[in-house]
């Protein structure tokens, strides 16, 4: 099968296509509680999109609205140009995989995969051919006669994936499909799912609360919080260019520093001045600075440099390949910054608590948010 060309799809390329799935001003209420607040989103043919966010942010509610399992209170959903807003699940073109596998325990693996095909009254020979093809595709060619209880969790999820793909849907919905698996199986299976999705070219939307899962699998990530979309972008955009303090904090590790604007290109933090682009922020405005730990630079020369801070090691953590340093003004105080250094580049005698360390916060890595946005 041909490999889809959607992975890493550029914004310019997306804009030249018609969206396969279009969500317009979707609102979902449960009594007085508003779970989705005017959600609008476009997903393009062959794209792998992850809905990412903390528990209760609305990501599963959005997926269920797309599937018709919980129809939205307001707004419209279009799939391949057709308005499916009020259609029941049975009349929508999708396959779905749940966290709990949802396999029939009394049916063999082959019968589970064949279930949807038999309901469509496909010829028996065609059903068998399709089941054989799919079990081969998901790496279980010899497991057809087993029952779900005889399989591992990872194998059961492969069967669930094969069953969802059996009717050749144009849309695949994944509701936290890997969260019930152990870490090693989860890492392996997410790679396989992504390869399979690229091979089939099926448009896919996946719900997850695992940021690493989203960063490694998605063409684009939809970060959600409290029923709204905080940001949509490629994994690189979400990580390197967060548009809100919530996104900056939720994706990856982040240092946050509180300060005040003191000029067009300057901010003070506890009396220390830092140079950075402040845009149109007014002098005196309280702000939060964000900086990734890997962007903090250890200053080794003695010359004065902009944005240098003389700190001390409050404590450190040995993590195998890297050492994580927590730095502050004094030992015993709350750490101000954290950074990670390759373990082979650090000396044990230099990592004692209280040891001085001069670091530099490069202006190019600093992002500014209004105080209280987190």
Neighbouring residues of 208: CB distance < 8 A, sequence distance ≥ 6: 50, 51, 52, 59, 176, 178, 179, 214
How high is the pLDDT of residue 345?
75
For 227-255, the pLDDT digits (tens) are: 999 999 999 999 999 999 999 999 999 99
Query: Where do the domains of the chain lie?
Result: 11-94+169-249, 253-370
Tell me the C-alpha distance between 170 and 165, whole Å: 9
Tell me the C-alpha distance between 54 and 60, whole Å: 11
Other residues' Cβ atoms within 10 Å of the Cβ of residue 341: 17
Per-residue pLDDT at 226 exceeds 50 = yes
The CATH fold assigned to 253-370 is: OB fold (Dihydrolipoamide Acetyltransferase, E2P) (2.40.50)
Greatest mean pLDDT among 76-80, 187-191, 270-274, 328-332 lies in 76-80
Instruction: List, in sequence order, the alpha helices (H) in 202-281.
Output: 211-217, 235-240, 245-250
Q: Which helix (H) or strand (E) is 286 found in, with range? A: strand 286-291
Residue 6 and residue 47 in contact, taking contact as beta carbons nearer than 8 Å: yes
Q: What is the mean pLDDT of residues 5-14?
A: 49
Per-residue pLDDT at 346 exceeds 90 = no
How high is the pLDDT of residue 318?
87
Tell me which DSSP letter residue 3 carries: P
Tell me which DSSP letter residue 262 carries: E
State CA 237 to chain mean position distance.
Answer: 12
Q: What is the mean pLDDT of residues 259-282?
A: 89
First to last CA, the chain: 45
How high is the pLDDT of residue 300?
78
Q: What is the mean pLDDT of residues 57-63?
A: 97
Q: pLDDT higher for 197 or 12?
A: 197
Q: For residue 26, what are the β-bridge partners?
A: 39
Within 7-152, strands assigned E span 21-30, 33-43, 48-52, 74-79, 82-83, 95-98
Q: What is the mean pLDDT of residues 27-31?
A: 97
Tell me the C-alpha distance between 322 and 312, whole Å: 19
Tell me the C-alpha distance between 335 and 257, whole Å: 11
What is the CATH code of the structural domain delimited by 11-94+169-249?
Answer: 3.40.50.300
Neighbouring residues of 129: CB distance < 8 A, sequence distance ≥ 6: none
How high is the pLDDT of residue 348?
65
Q: Which helix (H) or strand (E) is 133 found in, with range? A: helix 124-137
Phi-psi region of 307 (alpha: psi -120 to 50; beta: other; left: phi over 0): left
How high is the pLDDT of residue 289?
93
Per-residue pLDDT at 198 exceeds 50 = yes
pLDDT band with cut points at 50, 70 and 90 for residue 52 = very high
| This prediction's pTM | 0.88
Per-residue pLDDT at 349 exceeds 80 = no
């Amino acid at each position: 099968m041909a490999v889809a060309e959607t992975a890493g799809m550029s914004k310019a390329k997306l804009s030249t296509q018609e969206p396969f799935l279009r969500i317009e001003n979707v609102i979902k209420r449960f009594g007085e509680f508003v779970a989705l607040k005017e959600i609008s989103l476009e997903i393009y043919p062959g794209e792998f999109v992850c809905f990412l966010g903390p528990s209760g942010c609305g990501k599963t509610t959005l997926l269920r609205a797309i599937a018709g399992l919980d129809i939205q209170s307001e707004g419209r959903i279009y799939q391949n140009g057709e308005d499916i807003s009020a259609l029941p699940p049975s009349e929508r073109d999708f396959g779905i995989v749940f966290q709990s596998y949802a396999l029939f325990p009394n049916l063999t693996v082959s019968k589970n995969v064949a279930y949807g095909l038999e309901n469509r009254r496909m010829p028996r020979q065609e059903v068998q051919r399709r089941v054989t093809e799919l079990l081969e595709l998901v790496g279980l060619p010899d497991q057809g006669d087993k029952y779900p209880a005889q399989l591992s969790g990872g194998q059961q999820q492969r069967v669930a994936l094969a069953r969802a793909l059996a009717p050749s849907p144009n849309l695949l919905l994944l509701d936290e499909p890997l969260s019930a698996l152990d870490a090693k199986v989860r890492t392996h299976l997410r790679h396989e799912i992504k390869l399979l999705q690229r091979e089939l070219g099926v448009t896919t939307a996946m719900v997850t609360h695992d940021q690493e899962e989203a960063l490694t699998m998605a063409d684009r990530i939809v970060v959600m919080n409290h029923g709204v979309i905080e940001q949509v972008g490629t994994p690189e955009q979400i990580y390197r260019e967060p548009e809100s303090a919530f996104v900056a904090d939720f994706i990856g590790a982040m240092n946050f520093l509180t300060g005040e604007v003191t000029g067009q290109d300057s901010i003070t933090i506890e009396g220390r001045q830092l140079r950075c682009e402040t845009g149109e922020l007014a002098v005196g405005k309280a702000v939060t600075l964000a900086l990734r730990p890997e962007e903090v630079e250890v200053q080794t020369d003695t010359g004065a440099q902009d944005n240098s801070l003389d700190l001390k090691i409050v404590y450190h953590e040995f993590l195998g390949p890297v050492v994580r340093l927590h730095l502050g003004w004094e030992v015993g105080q709350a750490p101000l910054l954290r950074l990670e250094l390759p373990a082979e580049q650090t000396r044990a005698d230099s990592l004692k608590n209280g040891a001085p360390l001069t670091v530099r916060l490069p202006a190019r890595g600093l992002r500014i948010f209004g105080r209280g946005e987190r």
